[in-house]
Amino acid sequence: MTGHYDVIIIGTGAGGGTLAYRLAASGKRILLLERGDYVPREKDNWDSLASQVKGKYQTKEVWYDRKGKELHPHTNYWVGGNTKFYGAALFRLREQDFGEIRHHGGVSPAWPITYDELEPYYTKAEQLYHVHGERGGDPTEPWASAPYPHPPVSHEPRIQELHDDLAKCGLRPFHVPLGIMLDEQNPRRSRCIRCSTCDGYPCLVWAKSDAQVVCVDPALEHPNVTLITSSYVSRLETSPSGREVTKVHVGRNGGTEVYSADLVVVSAGAINSAALLLRSANDCHPRGLANGSDVVGRHYMGHVNSVVLAISKQPNPTVFQKTLALNDYYFASDEWEYPMGHISFVGKFDANILSAGAPPIVPGMTLDLIAKHSLDFWLTSEDLPDPDNRVTVTKDEKIMLNYKPNNEEGHKRLIAKLKSLMNSLGCEHHLIPRNLFVGERVPLAGVAHQNGTIRFGDDPKASALDRNCKAHELDNLYVVDGSFFPSSGAVNPALTIMANALRVGDHILERLR
């Protein structure tokens, strides 16, 4: 099969899916290439053993770490990309994140665009992805031109109690902005049923605002938009001058197909997009496409993340836990002169999830008992763009992820802060006597927040993409996943990727006129 299109978009996640929706009504011929298929709708979608422990929906692909050891990435190749499995926490970066910020471990560099330039697209992305939230609650939130389209998702009693305890201590907990299609006023008719299988699971009732449900499927209602699934893009070929991508080579059904387009947009995730450009090296681009600066694959960031369980005597019967967050330590504060990070929750753990890599536990406490009493926190700190933290491709075209954690002091302090809060807040009367506090760093294989590997900037010597996310060295190649981030901030990158895709979409539409 072959064909020529106005635009080819490689990948259907937060970046590619959103861009497809933005371009769909233009009437231009758009081809979406997705290496995966649709997530099958089946009971295992919501089975923690199948979905979380056995990793039924994760890729079986093998990558390598910097020591050459096999790495089984926790990533998902499906229509909608990793948004099918995300927790739908849709945060804006802070206004200051677009400037230079000094951390304990170094400097987080400035972006070539300001928050003000991205703000209108954040607003549209929040509307497109049905975000529920409340302006004014988050002490670090940036200005916004419109309210959230829907009210915040309420806290269940245990989380409300924690909220009140934190507030009594002078902190400012707030409602997590969530992209779910929930109507709490009318639960009987609500598409979302507010279940415990949201964060980390595909939504069986399609009530999570993921890229497939919200963008890809509506885009496909336009006759000018085509999706081909199970299509792995192996390389991009350029014209003899090297200035244009002329062929997109696709592995499908055991064979090779070739497509072409006036514009080619790569959005395969920050790791796979970089790998694709590196695999596509040719005489004009010996270090990989768009890589005269040698930054492609470098500056990999994925956040310094930890899951921390606080176990109290008081049960935590919360079903939908991911409603509360704390940003009091996001920037430098009276507590410390450098940023620490962001505290929120993961979806409620059950015994099955805890059984995977279970930490040593107090004798006599079963995993089920722990799960019934735990508050399951998610802590994120910013990691910094180190050029040696990089994606490379081996001779047999396997992905190698060379990553050494950095900027860890702030994260350690954030964990210590949470521990002291949990011990000293109004919680102490219901913490178990020897408070069991279990913390686990998310391993390298957890690549959900991947970004930074094809950074944008104004200087072609130090960046691969210009401020419109077009390759400096090619006239028709764009990248719209998290690769373009020069710095990562410390909140989930999904909404920023969506907003940027809308911004780039406007640029592309102007160009296609």
**Separation between Cα atoms, residue 199 and residue 59, nearest integer Å:** 18
Q: Please give the structure tokens belonging to residue 384.
A: 């910094």
Q: Which is nearer to other proteins, 21 or 57 (CB)?
A: 21
| 181 is an interface residue for other proteins by CB under 8 A | yes
| 203 is an interface residue for other proteins by CB under 8 A | no
In the complex, minimum distance from the CB of residue 193 to other proteins, in angstroms, rounded to a whole number: 8
| 204 is an interface residue for other proteins by CB under 8 A | no
In the complex, minimum distance from the CB of residue 45 to other proteins, in angstroms, rounded to a whole number: 16
β-pairing verdict for 324-325 and 342-345:
unpaired
Residue 42: CB atoms within 10 A of its CB come to 12
List the one residue out of 139, 242, 165, 169 whose CA is nearest residue 473: 242
Q: Which is nearer to other proteins, 150 or 411 (CB)?
A: 150
| 21 is an interface residue for other proteins by CB under 8 A | yes
**Separation between Cα atoms, residue 167 and residue 161, nearest integer Å:** 10
| 394 is an interface residue for other proteins by CB under 8 A | no
List the one residue out of 25, 54, 2 whose CA is nearest residue 250: 2
- Residue identified by tokens 């849709």 is 90
Q: Which is nearer to other proteins, 116 or 459 (CB)?
A: 116
Q: Which is nearer to other proteins, 14 or 353 (CB)?
A: 14
Phi (first) and psi of residue 127, to 5 degrees: -70, -40
| 224 is an interface residue for other proteins by CB under 8 A | no
Under 8 Å CB-to-CB from 513, ≥6 apart: which residues? none
| 86 is an interface residue for other proteins by CB under 8 A | no
Is residue 484 within 8 Å of residue 465, measured between CB atoms?
yes
Binding string, 55-74, against other proteins, x = CB under 8 A? Answer: --------------------
In the complex, minimum distance from the CB of residue 506 to other proteins, in angstroms, rounded to a whole number: 8
| 195 is an interface residue for other proteins by CB under 8 A | no
**Separation between Cα atoms, residue 251 and residue 245, nearest integer Å:** 17
Q: Which stretch binds other proteins (CB under 8 A): 54-62, 175-183, 227-235, 248-256?
A: 175-183
- Residue identified by tokens 């505290």 is 343
In the complex, minimum distance from the CB of residue 20 to other proteins, in angstroms, rounded to a whole number: 13
| Count, residues near other proteins per rule CB under 8 A | 29
Q: Out of 207, 236, 250, 431, which residue is the one contacting other proteins (CB under 8 A)?
A: 207
List the one residue out of 202, 207, 208, 214 whose CA is nearest residue 24: 214
Q: Out of 149, 242, 251, 439, which residue is the one contacting other proteins (CB under 8 A)?
A: 149
The one-letter code for the residue type at 367 is L
In the complex, minimum distance from the CB of residue 44 to other proteins, in angstroms, rounded to a whole number: 21
**Separation between Cα atoms, residue 6 and residue 40, nearest integer Å:** 30
Q: Hey, which residues between 120 and 139 contact other proteins (CB under 8 A)?
A: 124, 127-128, 130
**Separation between Cα atoms, residue 240 and residue 37, nearest integer Å:** 34
Q: Which is nearer to other proteins, 153 or 276 (CB)?
A: 153
Positions touching other proteins (CB under 8 A) are 21-22, 25, 124, 127-128, 130, 145-146, 149-151, 181-183, 185-186, 189-192, 205-207, 213-214, 217-218, 221
